[in-house]
Chain A
Amino acid sequence: MRVATPTVYRDIQQNIVSLYSQLNQTQEEVSSGKNFNSPSDDPVAMVNSLGLSDTLAQIQQYQTNMNTANEWLSTSNTVLNQVSQLAASAQQIATQLSSGSQSADAQTEAESQVDDLINEAISLGNTQLNGNYIFGGYKTATAPFADSGSGASETVVYQGDGNDFNVQIGPNETVAAGKNGQTVFMDSNLFASLIGLKQAIANNDQTAVQQEATNLQGVTDYLNTQVSDVGIRQDQVQAQGEMLTQVSTNLQDQLGDLENVDYNQVILEMQQDQTAYTAALETAAQISQVSLLNYL
Chain B
Amino acid sequence: MSGISSVLNIAAGALQANQIEMEVVSNNIANVDTPGYARESAVLESNSPISTNQLDLGTGVQVKSVTQAIDPYTTQQIQQNTSSLNEYQTEASALSDLESLFNETESGTLGDAMNNFWNAWQNVANNPGGTTERSALLENGQVLTQTFNSMSNDLAQTKEDMTTNIQTGIEQVNQLTGQIAALNSQIAAAQAGSTSANDLSDQMNNLLQQLSSLVGNVSVEQENGSVTVMTQGGLLLVNGNQNYEFSTQGDSIYYNNIQTDVSNNLTGGQIGGWLDIRDQIVPQYQANLDELAGTLIRQVNALSSTGYTLSGQTGIDFFDTSQVPASGDNTGAAGYIQLSADVQNNPDNIAAGGQSGAPGDNGNALKIAALQTDDSIQIRQWTISSPGVTPSSSVETTSMNDYYQSMVGDIGIATEAANDNQSFAQSTLNNLQNVQDSVSGVNLDEEMTELLQIQQAYEANSKMITIADNMVQSLLQVQ
Instruction: Give residues in A with beta carbon < 8 Å to B.
Output: 1-7, 10-11, 14, 34, 36-44, 46-47, 50-51, 53-54, 57-58, 61, 64-65, 68, 130-133, 136-141, 161, 163, 165-168, 171-172, 174, 178, 291-293, 296
Contact = CB atoms under 8 A, between A and B. Distances in A.
Nearest to A140: B360
B126 A38 contact: no
B441 A167 contact: no
Rank and list the top 8 A-B pairs by shortest CB-CB distance, nearest first: A4-B441, A39-B412, A43-B412, A140-B360, A40-B415, A138-B358, A138-B361, A47-B409
Given A5-B32, A139-B358, A293 B125 contact: no
A14 B434 CA distance: 12
Given A7-B437, A7-B441, A46 B104 contact: yes
Interface of B: 32-33, 39, 95-96, 99-100, 102-105, 111, 115, 118-119, 122-123, 125-130, 353, 355-356, 358-363, 366, 369-370, 372-373, 401-402, 405-406, 408-416, 419, 426, 430, 433-434, 437-445, 448-449, 452
Given A4-B443, A47-B409, A136 B122 contact: no
B411 A39 contact: yes
Contacts of B405: 47, 50-51, 54
A20 B92 CA distance: 19
16 contacts: A2-B439, A2-B443, A5-B443, A11-B434, A14-B426, A37-B105, A38-B96, A40-B96, A43-B413, A43-B416, A50-B111, A54-B401, A54-B405, A58-B373, A68-B127, A292-B444
A281 B360 CA distance: 72
Contact of B442 (A5, A14, A50, A133): A5
A163 B361 contact: yes
Given A39-B408, A47-B406, A138-B356, A68 B111 contact: no
Given A14-B430, A168-B369, 5 more contacts: A39-B103, A40-B99, A58-B372, A64-B119, A138-B353
Given A138-B360, A138-B361, A38 B100 contact: yes
Given A1-B438, A39-B103, A166-B366, A57 B360 contact: no
B356 A40 contact: no
A165 B360 CA distance: 7
Q: Which applies to chain A's interface (DSSP): helix, strand, loop or mixed? A: mixed
B89 to A, nearest CB: 14
B415 A39 contact: yes
Contact of B358 (A7, A47, A137, A168): A137
A165 B408 contact: no
Contacts of B361: 138, 163
Contacts of B419: 40
Contacts of A292: 444-445, 448-449
Contacts of A291: 444-445
Contacts of B411: 39-40
Q: Max chain B CB contacts within 10 Å: which of A38, A64, A68?
A: A38
B442 A4 contact: yes
A65 B291 CA distance: 31
Nearest to B33: A6
Nearest to B401: A54
Contacts of B444: 5, 291-293
A171 B230 CA distance: 61
A38 B413 contact: no
A128 to B, nearest CB: 12
